[in-house]
């Protein structure tokens, strides 16, 4: 692996998987934990497993509006008529049924002695007698205590990034608050003399800083807390000073731009002056060098400047690193096969990501390639649905081939 930190030049490519694994291996999970009320816990990472302290559901209850019966009371053949002995609504205490039928509603506790519920749509009820057809199944329409989660079972594992249904489950288990890890704090800045803050006038040769807005949003979605340090100029000494400041009190310093080997690419030197750095040429397209290292003891990730390379570098290298920092059990984004609507030939050796949109044609769903191919084309990202992934060894794909597709929703 090319270690510029050792003073050697970068040569050779590392695979994307090596780069991601290398990045992840350099960080440890944030240690501090806190308790959050459920309403504030979405997107946070569970610090410890949650074990159910009660059965879910807590008692046997009816899944339908109908009549609770004892299966043994049903006639061996043909319809059965039973007298209705009483009724239970949701929220009432369980009754007891020795013989006959018991009116019951969804969520109400099943009377002791009953083992089957008949849906009200399936019976004829008149004058306190209910007549039900043959062919009922023992245990039908009855939700047993603990059938969803049994008391003592693990309901959610440590490392789980909480999603809305998880919060519902925790609430159902009676928890008002949940132990989570503190969010990783990420210092973010852009580098480049050409960059201008959106909203300001644009001078000659200048462009607006696009990466920081995109990275800010990606960091939020990755569960990070952001310290926004703005735009830094291409000046090695100033950069070093700001890097040292950024490192204090943060768990990660994330930058874009200035990590190539151009004359104004000073981030590399600034990081070397206050820490260590590996600059990897990653075998991806679009892609450029990705710098991984540390500044004053804090992990550092330097993404390239081109926005599409930033997006890809964040999604496949920074995102798994952030998951590790957050203590999150990382699940690689799941690709699914789509039919291609284009032909593409290429040199093998790199993993390539093609921006595509999904459309419908006579044969179903087809992936159309966005005409903007360049690593600088933000519109191509904004106007497409996801990435078709071409493995390193592929030299050609043709219209009609199936290829793995990663929707942006999987990456963000
Ligand atoms: P660099 O890696 O600094 O050489 O930048 C590569 C390309 O990305 C150049 O065209 C830069 O102008 C562009 N670029 C760098 N940073 C940003 C940014 N924050 N927003 C938009 N474009 C950028
Ligand atoms: Mg630059």
Give the pLDDT confidence of 48-59 residue by residue, as tens digits.
999 999 999 999
Q: Are 187 and 286 in a shared domain?
A: yes
CATH number, domain containing residue 175: 3.90.105.10
Q: Which of 82, 115, 143 is the last residue of a domain?
A: 143
Q: What is the DSSP string of 296-340?
A: TTEEEEEE-SSHHHHHHHIIIIIHHHHHHHHT----PPPPEEEEE
* Ligand 1 touching residue 378 (CB < 6 A): no
Residue 295's domain is classified under what CATH number? 3.40.980.10
- The residue from 114, 143, 172 where one domain ends is 143
CA 154 to each of CA 105, 179, 387: distance values in angstroms, whole numbers, following the listed order: 30, 15, 36
Same domain, residue pair 38 and 175: yes
CATH number of the domain where residue 88 is located: 2.170.190.11
Span from the CA of 333 to the centroid of ligand 2 (angstroms): 30
Nearest bound ligand to the CA of residue 212 = 1
How many other C-beta atoms are found inside a 10 Å radius of the C-beta of residue 74? 20
Mutate which of 229, 257, 304 to test ligand 1's pocket (most atoms within 8 Å of Cβ)?
A: 257
At 148-164, the pLDDT tens digits run 999 999 999 999 999 99
How far apart are alpha carbons 161 and 174 in whole angstroms?
19
Q: Report CA 136 to chain centroid distance, whole Å.
A: 43
Please tell me the distance from the alpha carbon of residue 269 to that of residue 200, in angstroms, as a whole number: 30
Residue 259: the pLDDT is: 87
**Residue 289 near ligand 1, beta carbon < 6 Å:** no
Closest Cα partner for 111 from 87, 146, 83, 136? 87
Strands of 204-269, DSSP E = 207-208, 225-232, 252-256
296 DSSP β-pair partners: none
Q: What pLDDT sits at residue 364?
A: 97
Report d(CA 258, CA 295) in Å as an integer.
16
Closest-CA residue, ligand 1 atom 15, reads 305
Q: How far is CA 53 from the centre of its chain?
A: 27
Question: What pLDDT does residue 109 have?
Answer: 98
Q: What is the count of structural domains for the chain?
A: 4
Are residue 255 and residue 158 in the same domain, yes or no? no
Asked if 42 and 153 sit in the same domain, the reply is yes
Which ligand has the minimum distance to the alpha carbon of residue 211? 1
Return the best residue to mutate from 188, 193, 207, 255 for the ligand 1 pocket (most ligand atoms within 8 A of CB).
207
Same domain, 228 and 176: no
User: Does the CB atom of residue 111 touch ligand 1 within 6 A?
Assistant: no
Is residue 125 within 8 A of residue 102, CB to CB? The reply is no
Q: For position 356, which CATH number holds?
A: 2.40.340.10
- Which atom of ligand 1 approaches the CA of 190 most closely? 19
Which stretch of DSSP H or E encloses residue 397?
A: strand 396-397
Instruction: Note whether 104 and 41 are same-domain residues.
Output: no
How would DSSP label each residue in 250-265? Answer: -SEEEEES--SSSTT-
Spans of the chain, pLDDT less than 70: 1-11
Distance 214 CA to ligand 1 centre (A): 13
pLDDT of residue 268: 87
Whether 9 maps to a domain, the answer reads no
- In 362-393, beta strands by DSSP E: 364-369, 386-390
Is residue 331 assigned to a domain?
A: no
Are 195 and 313 contained in the same domain?
Answer: yes
3-state helix, strand, coil in the chain (%, to 5): 20, 35, 45
Instruction: Give me the pLDDT at residue 7, please.
Output: 32
Q: How far is the CA of 15 from the centre of ligand 2 (A)?
A: 24
pLDDT for position 232: 94
In a domain, 107, yes or no: yes
Residue 227 beta carbon below 6 angstroms from any ligand 1 atom: no
Residue 393's Cβ-count burial label (10 Å; 0-12, 13-18, 19+) is exposed
- What is the residue range of 384's domain? 336-411
| Residues in CB range of 225: below 8 A, 6 or more apart | 183, 184, 185, 186
Q: Is residue 92 part of a domain?
A: yes
Q: How far is CA 127 from the centre of its chain?
A: 56
Residue 116 lies in a domain: yes
């Amino acid at each position: 692996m090319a270690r510029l930190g050792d003073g050697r030049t970068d040569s050779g490519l590392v695979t994307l998987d090596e780069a991601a694994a290398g990045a992840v291996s350099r960080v440890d999970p944030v240690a501090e934990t806190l308790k959050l009320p459920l309403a504030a816990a979405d997107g946070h990472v569970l610090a410890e497993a949650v074990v159910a302290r009660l059965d879910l559901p807590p008692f046997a209850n009816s899944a339908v509006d109908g009549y609770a019966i004892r299966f043994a009371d049903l006639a061996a053949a043909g319809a059965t008529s039973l007298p209705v002995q009483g009724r239970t609504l949701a929220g009432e205490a369980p009754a007891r049924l020795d013989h006959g039928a018991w009116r019951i509603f969804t969520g109400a506790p099943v009377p002791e002695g009953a083992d089957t519920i008949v849906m009200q749509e399936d019976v004829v009820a008149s004058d306190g007698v209910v007549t039900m057809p043959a062919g009922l199944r023992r245990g039908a329409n009855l939700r047993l205590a603990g059938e969803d989660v049994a008391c003592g079972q693990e309901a959610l594992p440590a490392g789980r990034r909480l999603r809305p249904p998880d919060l519902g489950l925790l609430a159902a288990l009676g928890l008002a608050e949940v132990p989570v890890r503190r969010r990783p704090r990420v210092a973010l800045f852009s580098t480049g003399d050409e960059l201008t803050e959106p909203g300001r006038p644009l001078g000659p040769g200048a462009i607006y800083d696009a990466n920081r807005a995109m990275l800010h949003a990606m960091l939020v979605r990755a569960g990070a807390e952001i310290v926004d340090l703005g735009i830094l100029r291409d000046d090695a000494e100033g950069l070093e000073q700001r890097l040292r400041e950024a490192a204090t009190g943060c768990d990660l310093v994330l930058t874009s731009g200035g990590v190539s080997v151009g004359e104004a690419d000073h981030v590399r030197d600034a990081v070397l002056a206050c820490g260590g750095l590996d600059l990897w040429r990653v075998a991806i397209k679009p892609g450029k060098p990705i710098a991984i290292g540390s500044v004053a003891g804090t992990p550092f990730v330097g993404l390239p400047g081109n926005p599409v390379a930033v997006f890809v570098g964040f999604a496949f290298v920074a995102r798994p690193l952030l998951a590790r920092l957050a203590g999150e059990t990382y699940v690689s984004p799941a690709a699914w096969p789509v039919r291609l609507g284009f032909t593409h030939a290429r040199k093998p050796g790199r993993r390539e990501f093609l921006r595509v949109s999904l459309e419908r044609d006579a044969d179903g769903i087809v992936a159309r390639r966005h005409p903007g191919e360049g690593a600088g084309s933000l519109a191509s990202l904004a106007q497409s649905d996801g990435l078709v992934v071409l493995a390193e060894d592929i030299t050609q794909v043709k219209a009609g081939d199936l290829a793995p597709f990663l929707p942006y929703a999987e990456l963000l």
